Amino acid sequence: MIVAGVGCRKTVSAEQVEAAIEAALLSHQLAAHELYAIAVPATKAAEACVAAVAAARGVDLVLVVQSALEAADARTLTRSERSRDALNVQSASEAAALAAAGPNARLLSPRLAVGPVTCALAAVEDLQ
């Protein structure tokens, strides 16, 4: 199971989110059908861009609550002052991916930045 965690500002477009997810999948030679869900902090619930990408890809959109982001924070690989200030986690995209994929998840690599969007991929070993 692969979960894409996304971090972005309110002003990004669905096309920019899609580009980041696609680049992350390609960087790991993963096919589109291997993506199980897209995860974002629950504070992004009102932003249509990520929901539009999830709908277009036919995958679930997981809204990760703050306590779950913070619980996953110790397993993140990247450090961002912006994420720390906004969400009290070191990387919003990495924490979201890890939290949505579950306690046994691991990041495939540090988050990938494509323009104003970051994407991190998390996998659960025993489900692949």
Q: pLDDT in tens for each of the 128 residues of the chain?
A: 899 999 999 899 999 999 999 999 999 999 999 999 999 999 998 889 999 999 999 999 999 999 999 999 999 999 999 999 999 999 999 999 999 999 999 999 999 999 999 999 999 865 33
pLDDT value at residue 46: 86
Global pTM exceeds 0.75: yes
The Cα 112–Cα 43 span in angstroms is: 21
pLDDT value at residue 128: 34
Q: With the C-alpha atoms ordered 19, 24, 30, 35, is the resulting torsion angle positive or negative?
A: negative
The Cα 11–Cα 59 span in angstroms is: 22
Cβ-based neighbours of 51, under 8 Å, separated by 6 or more: 61
Domains of the chain and any CATH numbers? 2-127 (3.30.420.180)
The Cα 14–Cα 32 span in angstroms is: 16
